[in-house]
Amino acid sequence: MKTENRRSALLGRKRYKRKDVSKEKTAALGIDDLFALKTSDDNHFYAVHERYFSDDKVACPACGSTKTRCSKVVKRNFKDILWDKPSGKDEEEKKFRVVDLTFYQRYLRCDGCNNSVFPEPIDFGDKGCRYTNRLSDDLADGTFRFSYKKVCDYYGVPASTASIGPIMRRRIQYRESLLLPVSTPQRLGIMEVVFFRESRPIVYALRDDGVYCLDILEDSPEETVLTFLRTLDTNEVDTVFIDPVESIRSAAATAFPGANIVVSDECLLRYARNAMLEIIHSDGKRFPVKFKDAALTMQDKHLQSDFERQQIKDGMESRPRLKSAYERHQAFMELLSGDWKTEDLEKWVDALPDDLPGFDPLVDVIDLFKQEISGYLELEEKPPDFYPTALQAVCEAFRGMPHCIFDVLRARCFLTIAYDTIEENGEKYRLGIHTTRLTQKMNEISNNIKEAREYGL
């Protein structure tokens, strides 16, 4: 009997009749266009599409012909989620159960275009995914704030690394569809943040009341950056602050031919600080100062006490290369804190010892981006005091986030927080996410994951 049933399914013959449909289980399943079959297992649903019992012909997606016939029936297994309706005292507490769903999907042959075969269309589950869309959406929404494994454990489903990408992309597309268009700022910026040795460009708007992050891009090729920049109004952008990356410079110049493309002192100081951190991590192990990364990368005059200065001096005695880097970094910060010219930067480069290759990226910037640095010096209005602090906070927040794929990273940073908005000519636009709220949310998510906090709805 089982062999005969299997043969019938493979040949596309109908195994079920309308009398095999359960009204109760169909209502409990609650998926439009699906009929659940009668079974004794409340945690396993077997279903067919309503077209299974009709004479309606499914049009061929290739040629549009309705000369189609069932060729075979394929059994697809999903994990699905059913939510109980709250009532009484538990009105705010929703309960769920994860069930198995077996769907008998028909494949149809078209007699109108060379006998092509195609599956009947469905909208409750994506191709290749073992979760229904509603369950995958719940998993994605949870992963915006917690680790994917913790969310899967909470729902009692396998945490397959192969499934996280499609699950997140589907939810991201939905959330992106809800976003308002971007309000083009006069001053725009593109900064690269490092996330587990991968550089990710952040696009931000510099406004009078703060820095607003607009989006994070997957990588820095010119076409990737240009695709985003073309969503903005070319004529509105007056100044673009860039990180010294050729693809970013080229994309900015193409998108905004009339704008000033500049490299700011904030960027130069950030490159210098990154070079100093690299040397600290290689030569400063067991250095006798608390929070050495912060202490050894700030200006000496901003240290808290003479005692801390003495500790740094003592620690440098046995670390000559670190001492040399510290002195050159201090000189660089002092130089940029006053009035300076590009010639002053070149003099600083000439005085740099050969045994400090960590500063080579900064040396290249000074050499290859002279025009953009000069353009910054010529700006009539320089960025406000909060500008470098805001960008450094963003960099630190990314550095502190646990490892994840790009789709998850982007969703956590830019699709879990409400964007600030503005009304222009009767239409609403998004300004971006203020760095204060962005970094606060990122740090909160990082703590949720690192401290293994309980996942809850």
DSSP codes of every residue in 323-369: HHHHHHHHHHHHHHTS---HHHHHHHHHTS-TT-GGGHHHHHHHHH-
Crossing angle of helices 342-350 and 370-377, rounded to 10°? 130
Between residues 161 and 376, the one the model is more confident about: 376
The pLDDT, as a whole number, for residue 4 is 40
Q: Which two tokens stand for residue 373?
A: 């640095």
Rg (CA), the chain: 30
| Percentage of the residues of the chain whose pLDDT score is greater than 70 | 93
Q: How far is CA 385 from the centre of its chain?
A: 28
How many Cβ atoms sit within 10 Å of the Cβ of residue 98?
15
Among residues 384, 393, 382, 381, which one has the least CA distance to residue 433? 393
CB 216 within 8 A of CB 409: yes
Calpha distance 79→196 (Å, rounded)? 33
pLDDT band, residue 332 (cuts 50/70/90): very high
Segment 420-433 mean pLDDT: 92
Segment 308-329 mean pLDDT: 95
Calpha distance 456→448 (Å, rounded)? 11
Q: Which residue's entry shows tokens 């994070």? A: 216
Is residue 13 scored above 70 in pLDDT?
no
Calpha distance 177→122 (Å, rounded)? 21
The pLDDT, as a whole number, for residue 87 is 58
The pLDDT, as a whole number, for residue 114 is 74
| Strands 198-207 and 427-434, bridge-based pairing | unpaired
The pLDDT, as a whole number, for residue 7 is 39
Which tens digit of pLDDT belongs to each residue from 40-82? 999 999 999 998 888 888 999 989 899 998 888 899 999 999 9
Is residue 93 scored above 70 in pLDDT?
no
Q: How many helices (H) and strands (E) does the chain have?
A: 17, 12
Is residue 371 scored above 90 in pLDDT?
yes
Calpha distance 244→226 (Å, rounded)? 16
Average pLDDT, the chain: 90
Is residue 222 scored above 50 in pLDDT?
yes
CB 236 within 8 A of CB 184: yes
Which tens digit of pLDDT belongs to each residue from 281-303? 999 999 999 899 999 999 999 99
Among residues 117, 125, 129, 14, which one has the least CA distance to residue 60? 117
- Which structural domains are found in the chain, ordered by start? 2-124 (no CATH), 187-263+381-450 (3.30.420), 266-368 (no CATH)
Calpha distance 159→213 (Å, rounded)? 31
Distances (CA, A) of 369 to 21, 87, 251, 262: 71, 65, 15, 9
Segment 229-243 mean pLDDT: 97
- DSSP-derived 3-state class of residue 123: coil
The pLDDT, as a whole number, for residue 199 is 94
pLDDT band, residue 215 (cuts 50/70/90): very high
pLDDT band, residue 2 (cuts 50/70/90): very low
Least confident of 236-240, 278-282, 366-370, 445-449: 445-449
Q: Cβ contacts of residue 105 below 8 Å, gap of 6+?
A: 49, 73, 74, 75, 76, 119, 120, 122
pLDDT band, residue 454 (cuts 50/70/90): low
